[in-house]
Each structure stands twice: as C-alpha cells, then as structure tokens.
C-alpha cells in the first residue's frame, strides 16, 4: 500500500523497506561540506532549511537509484497487468504445475470453516442485540461479511471440494444456503456453467455485460437500472441475479428439476419456519434489522466479488469462436487483495485465480495454490487491491462491453472513444 502511494508521486521505492543507496554516506559528507562552505562564505541559510534541502537531495538520490517497479500500472487499483499467455499453453498445463497437495480434501479443515462461519455469524447477531444504534453500521458490515462465509462454505460443497462424499456436499450446501434464501442446486448448475464459460459472451451465467446496443435501444427505467447496476448501485446487482436465475424451473433441464425442487423446498421451509415467525414477532422493523440488512450485506460482497474478479478495462469478453480456457481462467480472472478480516470471514474466496484454474481446490488450499501460480505463471496474473481507486476504475471505465471493438466503453456516447491505457509502467 505504502509503495503504491509513493509510486503515485513518482518515488518508486517502499519506505518500509528503505535501504541506503550506494554513495549515501558520501552524499551526506558532500552535503555537510557544502553546508559548511556556504556558512563560511556567509550565506545565511537557516539550519532547518539546509537540513530539509539535504533530506530532499537524499530522497531524490533514492528515487533515482531505485529501479522502477513493475508492480504499478496505469490503471488505478491494479498492481499488475498480466501478460498474454504464450501460444501452445493450455489450461491443463497450468493445472499440472500445481502441487498435488492443493487438491487434497481435509475433513477437519472443512468442518473448521463451518465452525468459524457459524461462530462468526452468532457473534455478529450477539453484537447486534447489545449494540447502540450508532454502532449498527459497523455491526452490519461485520455481520454481512460473516454471512457471506455461509455462501463460501456452500460454494465449496457445490464444487464437491468440501467432502469426498456427494451426499455430505449436497446436505452442507443446502443447509448453508438456506438462511440466505439461496436455492443450492439451481445455483450449482448455473455456477458450474460460469466456470465452463468464464467471460464468454452469452454463455457466462455469472456476469454478462450490457452491450452498447442494449443501452442505446433502452429508455427510462431500463437505462436507469443499467447505469445503477454498473455504477453506484453495483452492490445491489446480485439481488437481481439471484431472483432472475434461481427460481424459474423452465431454466433447468427436466433431469435436473427434481434436485432443483428439493432446493426450492428447503429455502421455502426456512422462509416459513424461520423468517415468517421473525416477521410476526418482531414486526417489519425487526425483520429489517435482523434479516434484511445482514442479507443485503451478503449481497454486497456477492456483487463485489463477482464484479472485481472478472471485470477490468483490459479484460475482454469473447465470443465462443475466439474464447480460450487458459486465457479466461488464468489471464482473464483477477486476484484482489482485501483486508485480512474479510479474507478470514470469507474463507479466501478473494484468492480467485486458482479457483478458476480448478474448482476442485478447497478454499483452505487456495493460498497454497496461488503461491504456486506466482512461482510458475506470475507474469500472466492480474492483480488488484480493493479500495476506492479500483472500484472507481471499474465503475467508470467498464460500463458497456463493445464486442465489435472488443473493449469496455462508457454509457455516454461522446465518451465511448476514450482510450483506456492498460500498459504496465
């Protein structure tokens, strides 16, 4: 973080790792002699000013002596832009480069994630019960993030990376998704489609960009919804996706509909036996306090993770004929650094590139897999840091995807020709 700030002002070094450059002492001696000579000649420069100038000269020397870092890009929020994948490399080559240990399922570690999440959610609700109203924003930020952990555990189960037993995966996934009113089987089917067609136009079910012709032909509320979901209300987009994809039986094959109905029945049961009593006994305001706001916090992270990990000015969506698996999964997915407490509560789902290299990697092994990717494929990785610069870049530069020009453009027609330079400094 500090190094990034220094780079922005043109000082390409990290103060926390400051090392004295060659000639540092001689520079000090030269500056001291210069100061003494100046004093002897009667130049009445104040001592403090001289010291300030001396520090500035040393600082400039450091900036000149230090090699320019390749970890800072011209795209705000991104710390590295991945280089294109060489021809001939396929996704299995990347998978084979990973250590076998990253695919191992450990029951103790898996159930530990369940315990951590249930404990974190319980702690959040306990804090909500005793906190004064003015601390609610902090409590909801924590609780919504903890509830996201429910989804991540179920997410592992959906990829059969929670347990070696299929029935255990089905039960854990269904139960963990129930408090979120998220039907497990419909999500699993559509999510696996996302992994098979990441950033493929039409086929990717997790994140389809709006196209210019869609926006230009729309009017009124439709345009407003597009601008909001790819702008200031991005955090709410997951709610629309949840509602559109997961409750319509016609979107699923006949052979899948039995399991889909079981999942719908499970969330229906939670609604009847948990949410309706909550509404009855606490009233609309209590229902808002105890379930709706934490649930919206969960959807904030669902929207944010999906957007951040697959959207950048330099990452294209492609048609089927030009789509390539290794490009999409290794070079078209983003690794983003979040605060440690978010990674802990969300079980490292932010370590997203290895998850797209192979969805069989359990969440507790994602960092090990990412370390391996950095050793073998680092220059092809896209890296970012969560914060205002990153979100500003995505929400202002990535409004509509022009498949003809193969680039992201803005809503405003007059601004669509604005070039986004993705070259590494």
pLDDT 10s digits, 344-376 = 999 999 999 999 999 999 999 999 999 999 999
Over residues 232-248, mean pLDDT:
91
Look at residue 73 and tell me if it is in a domain: no
Q: What is the pLDDT of residue 208?
A: 86
With respect to residue 420, please indicate whether it lies within any of the assigned structural domains. no
> Which residue range(s) make up the domain with 212?
78-415
How many CA atoms, within 13 angstroms, populate the side-chain half-sphere of residue 122? 6
Per-residue pLDDT at 418: 52
**Across all residues in the chain, what is the average pLDDT?**
84
Least confident of 11-20, 48-57, 290-299, 385-394: 11-20
Q: Above pLDDT 70, what percent of the chain?
A: 81
256 and 370 both lie in a single domain: yes
The average pLDDT across 378-399 equals: 96
**Residue 347: inside a domain, yes or no?**
yes
Tokens at residue 40, please?
A: 């002897």
337 vs 27, more confident: 337
Query: Is there a single domain that holds both residue 107 and residue 211?
Result: yes
Across residues 133-141, what is the average pLDDT?
Answer: 98
Answer yes or no: is pLDDT of 73 > 70: no
Taking residues 116-144, what's their average pLDDT? 98
Same domain, 48 and 138: no
Task: Report angle CA 301, 303, 306 to the nearest 5 degrees.
Answer: 100
The answer to whether residues 158 and 263 belong to one domain is yes
* pLDDT surpasses 80 at 250: yes
Q: Looking at the structure, do residues 133 and 34 belong to the same domain, yes or no?
A: no
Q: In this structure, is residue 312 part of a structural domain?
A: yes
226 and 353 share one domain: yes
What is residue 127's predicted lDDT score, i.e. its pLDDT? 98
Please say which residue of 65, 91, 109 terminates a domain. 65
> What does each C-alpha distance from 168 to 94, 150, 156, 162, 173 come to in angstroms?
29, 16, 11, 8, 8
Is residue 234 over pLDDT 90?
Answer: yes
In a domain, 11, yes or no: yes
Q: Could you tell me if 60 and 159 lie in one domain?
A: no
137: number of CA atoms within 13 Å, CB side? 1
Window from 102-116, 223-237, 378-392 with minimum mean pLDDT? 223-237
Both 9 and 108 in a single domain? no
Predicted confidence (pLDDT) at residue 66 exceeds the cutoff of 90: no
Structural domain contains residue 228:
yes
**Least reliable range by pLDDT among 31-40, 152-161, 276-285:** 31-40
Domain assignment present for residue 424? The answer is no
Pair 394, 272 in one domain: yes
Question: Per-residue pLDDT tens for 30-44?
Answer: 444 444 344 434 434
Which of 24-28, 248-252, 312-316 bottoms out in mean pLDDT, i.e. has the lowest? 24-28
* Domain termination site, one of 44, 65, 86: 65
Do residues 28 and 108 both lie within one domain?
A: no
Of 57, 65, 80, 76, nearest in space to 12 by CA:
65
Is residue 216 one of the residues assigned to a domain? yes
The count of structural domains within the chain is 2
Q: Which of 12, 38, 65 is the last residue of a domain?
A: 65
Are 357 and 330 within 8 A, CB to CB?
A: yes
Whether residues 61 and 83 share a domain: the answer is: no
Say whether both 322 and 377 belong to one domain: yes
Full-model pTM: 0.79
What average pLDDT does range 260-271 have in this prediction?
97
């Amino acid at each position: 973080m500090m190094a990034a700030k220094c780079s922005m002002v043109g000082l390409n070094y990290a103060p926390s790792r400051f090392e004295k450059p060659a000639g540092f002492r001689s520079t000090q001696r030269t500056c001291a002699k210069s100061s003494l000579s100046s004093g002897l000649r009667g130049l009445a420069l104040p001592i403090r000013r001289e010291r300030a100038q001396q520090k500035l000269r040393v600082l400039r020397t450091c900036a000149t002596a230090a090699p320019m870092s390749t970890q800072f890009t011209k795209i705000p929020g991104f710390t590295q832009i991945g280089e294109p994948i060489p021809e001939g490399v396929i996704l299995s080559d990347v998978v084979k480069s990973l250590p076998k240990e990253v695919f191992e399922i450990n029951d103790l570690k898996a159930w530990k994630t369940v315990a951590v999440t249930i404990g974190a959610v319980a702690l959040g609700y306990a804090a909500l019960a005793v906190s004064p109203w003015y601390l609610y924003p902090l409590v909801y930020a924590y609780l919504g993030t903890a509830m996201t952990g429910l989804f991540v555990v179920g997410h592992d189960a959906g990829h059969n990376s929670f347990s070696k037993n299929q029935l255990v995966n089905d039960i854990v996934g269904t139960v963990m998704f129930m408090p979120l009113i998220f039907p497990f089987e419909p999500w699993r089917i559509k999510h696996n489609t996302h992994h098979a067609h990441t950033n493929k136009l039409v086929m990717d079910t997790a994140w389809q960009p709006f196209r210019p012709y869609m926006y230009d032909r729309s009017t009124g509320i439709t345009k407003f919804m597009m601008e909001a979901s790819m702008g200031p209300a991005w955090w709410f987009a997951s709610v629309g996706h949840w509602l559109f994809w997961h409750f319509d039986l016609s979107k699923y094959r006949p052979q899948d509909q039995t399991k889909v109905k079981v999942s719908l029945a499970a969330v229906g049961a939670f609604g009847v036996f948990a949410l309706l009593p909550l509404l009855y006994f606490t009233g609309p305001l209590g229902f808002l306090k105890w379930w709706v706001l934490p649930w919206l916090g969960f959807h904030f992270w669902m929207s944010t993770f999906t957007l951040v990990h697959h959207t950048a000015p330099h990452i294209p969506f492609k048609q089927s004929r030009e789509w390539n698996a290794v490009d999409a999964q290794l070079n078209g997915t983003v690794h983003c650094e979040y605060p440690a407490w978010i990674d802990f509560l969300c079980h490292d789902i932010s370590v997203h590139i290895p998850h797209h290299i192979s969805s069989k990697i359990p969440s507790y092994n994602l960092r090990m897999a990412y370390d391996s990717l950095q050793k073998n494929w680092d220059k092809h990785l896209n890296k970012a840091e969560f914060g205002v610069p990153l979100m500003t870049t995505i929400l202002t530069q990535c409004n509509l995807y022009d498949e003809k020009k193969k680039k992201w453009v803005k809503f405003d027609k007059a601004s669509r020709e604005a070039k986004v330079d993705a070259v590494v400094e």
